[in-house]
Amino acid sequence: MSTNRHRFIIVCIVCCAALSPLVSQEVPRDIFLRARSASRPSETIRLLEEALPASGSLRPWFLLELARTEGLSGNWKKSRSWSELQDTDSLPEEIRDHYMYWYGRALEEEGLPDRALILYKTRIDSKRASEPFAYTGYLRIASTGAEGVITALDAAFPLYRHSDPEGFINSRYLAGLSAVREGNWVFAESMFARFLELSATVPSDSWTSLRPWASWYRGWTLYRLNRYTEAIRAFSVYIDGWPGHERTWQAATASVLAAVQSSSDPFVHADRAIRLAPTAADRDESRLLKASLLIDRNRFDEASNLLLAVADGTGSSTPGAAAPRALFMLADISFRTNRLDEAESRWRRIIDRYPRDQLAEEAQYRIAEQWHVAGEWNRATSAYVRYRQVWPSGRFIDSALLSGADAWYRQGDRDMAILWWEEYVRRFPAASALSRAYSGLLSAYRDKSEWTAALRIAEAWKARLPREASYENIDDHIAELKLIRNGQNPDSAALRSAWNRAGKAATAEGRTAGLRLARSLLADFSTRSEAKSILEEVVARSPEVPDALPVQDRITRASALSLLANVARDDGDYEQSARYFLSAGRYFAGLDGERSAEALYGAADSFLLAGKRGDARQTAETIRATWKDSVWAKRAAIFLSGVQ
Alpha helices in 354-396 (DSSP H): 358-373, 377-390
The pLDDT of residue 201 = 93
pLDDT tens-digit map of 465-495:
999 999 888 887 888 788 778 765 556 655 7
The pLDDT of residue 334 = 96
Per-residue pLDDT, averaged over 619-641, amounts to: 86
Q: Which residue has the higher pLDDT, 341 or 526?
A: 341
Considering 15-19, 273-277, 474-478, the range whose residues carry the highest mean pLDDT is 273-277
Angle at which helices 528-539 and 508-522 cross, to 10°: 160
Per-residue pLDDT, averaged over 450-456, amounts to: 93
Per-residue pLDDT, averaged over 105-133, amounts to: 95
pLDDT over 50 (residue 22): no
The dihedral formed by the CA atoms of 262, 263, 267 and 270, expressed in degrees to the nearest 10: 30
pTM summary value: 0.68
Per-residue pLDDT, averaged over 173-197, amounts to: 98
Helix (H) or strand (E) run with residue 283 in it = helix 280-296
If you average pLDDT over every residue of the chain, what do you get? 90
The pLDDT of residue 281 = 92
pLDDT tens-digit map of 48-80:
898 888 888 889 999 999 999 999 999 999 999
pLDDT over 70 (residue 12): no
pLDDT tens-digit map of 496-538:
667 776 889 999 999 999 998 898 888 878 888 989 999 999 9
Per-residue pLDDT, averaged over 269-296, amounts to: 96
pLDDT over 90 (residue 108): yes
pLDDT over 50 (residue 401): yes
pLDDT over 70, % of the chain: 93
Q: Which residue has the higher pLDDT, 207 or 313?
A: 207
The pLDDT of residue 10 = 44
Q: Are 572 and 593 in contact (CB under 8 A)?
A: no
Distance between CA 569 and CA 516 in Å, rounded? Answer: 20
Helix (H) or strand (E) run with residue 492 in it = helix 492-501
| Distance, CA of 331 to chain centre | 23
Distance between CA 34 and CA 624 in Å, rounded? Answer: 84
Distance between CA 464 and CA 458 in Å, rounded? Answer: 10
Q: Which whole-number Å values give the CA distances from 118 to 123, 125, 138, 457, in the listed order? A: 9, 10, 9, 64
Distance between CA 44 and CA 72 in Å, rounded? Answer: 12
Distance between CA 184 and CA 142 in Å, rounded? Answer: 12
3-state secondary structure of 143: coil
pLDDT bin (cut points 50, 70, 90) of residue 82 is: very high
3-state secondary structure of 563: helix
Residue 294 CB neighbours (<10 A): 20
Distance between CA 401 and CA 388 in Å, rounded? Answer: 8
